[in-house]
Amino acid sequence: MTDLSKIRNFSIVAHIDHGKSTLADRLIQETGTVSQRDMKEQLLDTMDIERERGITIKANTVRLDYLSDDGQDYVLNLIDTPGHVDFAYEVSRSMRAVEGSLLVVDSTQGVEAQTLANVYQAIDADHEIVPILNKIDLPASDCDKVAEQIEDVIGIDASGAIFVSAKTGQGIHQTLEAIISMLPPPLGDSKAPLKAMLVDSWYDAYLGVIVLVRVIDGFLKKGDRVRMMSNNSVHHVEKIGVFRPEMEAVDLLGPGEIGFITASIKQVRDTRVGDTITHEKNGTLVALDGFKPSQPVVFCGLFPIDSSLFEDLRSSIEKLSLNDASFSYEMETSAALGFGFRCGFLGLLHLEVVRDRVEREFDIELITTAPSVIYHIYMRDGEFIELHNPADMPDLTHVDHMEEPRIKATILVPDEYLGDVLKLCQDRRGIQLELTYAGSRAMVVYDLPLNEVVFDFYDRLKSISKGYASFDYQMLEYRTDNLVKLQVLVNEEPVDALSIMVHRDRAEQRGRMMCEKLKDLIPRHMFKIPIQAAIGGRIVARETLAAMRKDVTAKCYGGDVTRKKKLLEKQKAGKKKMRQFGKVNIPQEAFISALKMDN
């Protein structure tokens, strides 16, 4: 074990692209934890999707040995937290596992909404915070302005901010020294019964579930029998170690230390983030506070384009769920799409990540239906229904009232785009709560219905602000509103996968938009196709897709037949990418594109 005074545990708080992963890479390099030869970019982000999107989904951790300028050897534990709002609970747990944070702000960009959300989590966890102004090598860098902004917007002292270029390595040494001098060592009692926090967990094909732990009190050793306090399940610790960032076995983990255990756990579901781990016998009586099981908030259907791949989809979803306790799934049958799964996610990014992983890692092309939220339906007969899927909406005449989830959204945006952002929020039924300025940037806080946000709000926000607006949200409450189910009929047949819940005042307009979009998205057929939007039995919008009139190949002589055959085969393959509804083929992208609200 390491002496508590020689340990520093910290996380890095940053907005996407502000250089968190690069800074982590440099710290790893500077302390000699990974040789130059094994160094690759974004060392801690192991999934392809993480590397490609520059985001961290799973908490990663690395233990660094550092000989400080004071001549002492220190152990530094870095937990790289997920940076996205979808994983806010996971972030909060990671934050509780460390005592300090490096707040990385891009000195060419300034503070972003996401930085705010995470830094507040750090403040909530009583962290000492070391501001790092990154990217000082760029000409657009303006450290004074950004330091002022940190003080104004976040309200922390930025006078000790360290100027860093993670790219060139400038300021890395000072950062390491600041970690030693500015962050407090962890507290803990080595004589008390074992109390450890389950920070995160993931599935490894060879080792089973790997559990990331932070020991608070007592010791964790190989061979221990440990108990998860949320469900009293007992496990036998098989391996114990630390990350450098590769796994390295150790004999034990003591107070203040961060490492991993494996214990023949089959499913990530059995390990709940935030849970308290103690010994089976003579364990602690008091669990850590703040534990809560994760709750999906966004739902959508995932269907294989090729319906014969349903079983493959099932097994891929089962495999993914082994490693992701926060995502839920149940089988769904759609008249339009056949068999698939209704899946619940922590948010939109989480949804995209899971969908991308199914498509890439398991090679199954998917139709994703419109994301939906959970509606609370109060029936006239007193029954209460949680509606996850608009297709299951009961007949309106039996419904007394409905509630939908509302969120508090915080948006930071440069002045010049503020007008458009306000309009967007207004269009999405938002209620303005706050509007303040920090320099040339406005911070707006809106009360918004989640169902207006889950779909393309973020994309729209990015596009109207040329990418400068940043956005974060938290759940507010369920609130009654006048909601209806908007149904789409293609060639007189309802396509359940295109049903959405909308506010009654906007139903007609949305219906018109969807019909217009579908008219462009569905290819012409040999007959004309009416496309209608309806509420209950009432048609509120209608478009007609004209019949196909011309597609013949002009020339076809002796030698051309070989090529023509290929064309015919290509046409056949193209049809496979579409789903047939009655006599109409609808291309897969239509299910998402039809709902987008960009004009």
Partner 1 sequence: MVKNWQRAGFGLYIHWPFCQSKCPYCDFNSHVSSNIDHEAWTKAYLSEISKNHHHSSEKILSTVFFGGGTPSLMPSKTIEAIITHILSLWKTSNQLEITLEANPSSIDVSRFKEYKSAGVNRVSIGVQSLDNISLKYLGRLHNGKDAITAVQTAQSIFDRVSFDLIYARQNQTIKDWEKELLSALSLGTNHMSLYQLTIEDGTVFGDRAKIGKLPGLPSEDLSADMYTLTQEIMNNNRLPLYEVSNHAFPGEESRHNLIYWRGGDFIGIGPGAHGRYYEGPKRKATVMAKSPNKWLSQIDEVGHGAEPTTILSKSEEALEYLMMSARLVEGTDLKFLKSLDLNLIKHKNIKGLIELGVILIKNERMILTPKGRPILNSVLSELIS
Q: Which residues bind partner 1 (CB under 8 A)?
A: 524, 526-527, 546, 548-559, 561-562, 564-565, 567-568, 571-572, 575
Tell me how far, at minimum, the Cβ of 14 lies from partner 1, in Å.
39
Q: Is 425 helix (H, G, I), strand (E, B) or coil?
A: helix
Shorter beta-carbon distance to partner 1: residue 39 or 546: 546
Tell me how far, at minimum, the Cβ of 529 lies from partner 1, in Å.
13
In whole angstroms, what is the distance from residue 201 CA to residue 217 CA? 20
Q: CA of 179: how far to CAs of 7, 45, 333, in Å? A: 10, 22, 54
Residue-by-residue DSSP string for 254-317: -TT-EEEEE-----GGGS-TT-EEEESSS--SSPPTT-------EEEEEEESSGGGHHHHHHHH
First to last CA, the chain: 61
Tell me how far, at minimum, the Cβ of 558 lies from partner 1, in Å.
5
Tell me how far, at minimum, the Cβ of 543 lies from partner 1, in Å.
16
Question: What letter does residue 263 receive in the DSSP assignment?
Answer: -
Tell me how far, at minimum, the Cβ of 570 lies from partner 1, in Å.
10
Tell me how far, at minimum, the Cβ of 525 lies from partner 1, in Å.
8
In whole angstroms, what is the distance from residue 94 CA to residue 200 CA? 8
Q: Is 302 helix (H, G, I), strand (E, B) or coil?
A: strand
- Of 491, 223, 445, 449, nearest in space to 336 by CA: 491
Q: Is 71 helix (H, G, I), strand (E, B) or coil?
A: coil
Which residues on adjacent β-strands are paired with residue 387? 375
Shorter beta-carbon distance to partner 1: residue 266 or 575: 575
Which is it for strands 538-545 and 529-535: parallel, antiparallel or unpaired?
antiparallel
For residue 352 the two structure tokens come to 């995209």
In whole angstroms, what is the distance from residue 489 CA to residue 547 CA? 17
In whole angstroms, what is the distance from residue 429 CA to residue 434 CA? 15
In whole angstroms, what is the distance from residue 389 CA to residue 497 CA? 9
Shorter beta-carbon distance to partner 1: residue 285 or 561: 561
Shorter beta-carbon distance to partner 1: residue 293 or 574: 574
Question: What letter does residue 88 receive in the DSSP assignment?
Answer: H
In whole angstroms, what is the distance from residue 71 CA to residue 244 CA? 22
Tell me how far, at minimum, the Cβ of 485 lies from partner 1, in Å.
33
Tell me how far, at minimum, the Cβ of 575 lies from partner 1, in Å.
7
User: Contact 106/167 with Cβ under 8 angstroms?
Assistant: no
Q: Report the amino acid identity of residue 415.
A: D
Shorter beta-carbon distance to partner 1: residue 414 or 523: 523
Q: CA of 188: how far to CAs of 200, 216, 218, 288, 488, in Å? A: 20, 5, 8, 13, 60
Shorter beta-carbon distance to partner 1: residue 281 or 570: 570
* Element spanning 175, H or E: helix 172-182
Tell me how far, at minimum, the Cβ of 572 lies from partner 1, in Å.
6
Shorter beta-carbon distance to partner 1: residue 67 or 556: 556
Tell me how far, at minimum, the Cβ of 466 lies from partner 1, in Å.
23
Shorter beta-carbon distance to partner 1: residue 205 or 561: 561
Tell me how far, at minimum, the Cβ of 527 lies from partner 1, in Å.
6
Contact residues for 598 (Cβ-Cβ < 8 A; gap 6+): 456, 459, 460, 463
Tell me how far, at minimum, the Cβ of 367 lies from partner 1, in Å.
21
Shorter beta-carbon distance to partner 1: residue 191 or 572: 572
- Of 356, 407, 261, 301, nearest in space to 55 by CA: 356
In whole angstroms, what is the distance from residue 417 CA to residue 461 CA? 10
In whole angstroms, what is the distance from residue 421 CA to residue 410 CA? 11
Cα 145-151-152 angle, rounded to 5 deg: 85
The region that residue 126 occupies, defined by phi over 0 for left and psi between -120 and 50 for alpha, beta otherwise, is: left
Shorter beta-carbon distance to partner 1: residue 266 or 565: 565
In whole angstroms, what is the distance from residue 153 CA to residue 300 CA? 36
Tell me how far, at minimum, the Cβ of 336 lies from partner 1, in Å.
20
Shorter beta-carbon distance to partner 1: residue 331 or 546: 546
- Of 5, 63, 50, nearest in space to 214 by CA: 63
Cα 83-86-88 angle, rounded to 5 deg: 65
Torsion, CA 504, CA 508, CA 509, CA 510, rounded to 10? 80
Shorter beta-carbon distance to partner 1: residue 40 or 550: 550
Shorter beta-carbon distance to partner 1: residue 205 or 554: 554
Tell me how far, at minimum, the Cβ of 564 lies from partner 1, in Å.
6
User: Contact 342/311 with Cβ under 8 angstroms?
Assistant: no
Shorter beta-carbon distance to partner 1: residue 448 or 521: 521
